[in-house]
Amino acid sequence: MRLFLLAILVSSLAACAANPPQTVQHVDLNRYAGTWYEIATIPQSFQKGCTGVTATYTPRPDGTVEVVNRCRQGTLNGPERSVKGAARVVDPNTNAKLKVSFFWPFEGDYWIFRLNDNYTTAAVGSPDYKTLWILHRQPQMSDAEYTALLRSLQADGFAVEKLQRTTQFPAPQNH
């Protein structure tokens, strides 16, 4: 009986590993660089209480990418928290699969699952479907664009019902 249960466990784990989500075909890291606003996320303990979350990516001469994540604690007027790390490309054919480290020697997967043509909207996370972030170049995203992105991600197996909208700064006003 134990061997049977072990065989089921191993085969189910193999099936999970065999079906990771697809990434985008190619990412131009220079175009991807800059500041992104977190629109929604599957909550993670390290982001507890964060609002106004941003991630800033800066390519380095050695081919890695500097990553600076910032948030406001509690409210948009709360104290700023930040952490600096580095990302390295693990799939140079696409640049869509990276490993990010904020605390050496620990690394996490950073896969780019969605990226629109003008590099203003992205969906990133891990191949095990446990993490997912919706990012945008502005602090607000239209409901229509957000809904369309969620439908696309859900069709690929992401548990979009776990996503929580991030409290963000208002969109800049054009005068």
Q: What is the pLDDT of residues 114-159, one digit of tens each?
A: 999 999 999 999 999 999 999 999 999 999 999 999 999 999 999 9
Report the distance separating Cα 145 and Cα 166, nearest Å.
16
Q: How confident is the model at residue 49 (pLDDT cuts 50, 70, 90)?
A: confident
Helices (H) and strands (E) counted in the chain, each on its own, are: 3, 9
Per-residue pLDDT at 3:
33
Evaluate if residue 27 carries a pLDDT over 60: yes
Domains of the chain and any CATH numbers: 23-163 (2.40.128.20)
Report the distance separating Cα 159 and Cα 161, nearest Å.
5
The full length of the chain comes to: 175
Distance spanning both ends of the chain, measured CA to CA: 71
Q: Which is higher by pLDDT, 22 or 14?
A: 22
Report the distance separating Cα 80 and Cα 77, nearest Å.
9
- Angle (CA) 37 20 127, round 5°: 40
Per-residue pLDDT at 174:
58
Tokens 């904020």 belong to residue: 102
Per the confidence metrics, is the pTM higher than 0.75? yes
Interval 80-106 mean pLDDT: 95
Cβ-contact 41, 163 below 8 angstroms = yes
Average pLDDT, the chain: 88
Q: What is the largest CA-CA distance in the chain?
A: 71
Evaluate if residue 7 carries a pLDDT over 80: no
Report the distance separating Cα 65 and Cα 88, nearest Å.
6
> What percent of the chain shows pLDDT beyond 70?
86
Evaluate if residue 104 carries a pLDDT over 80: yes
Interval 79-103 mean pLDDT: 96
Residues 6+ apart with CB under 8 A from 62: none
3 state SS of 150: helix
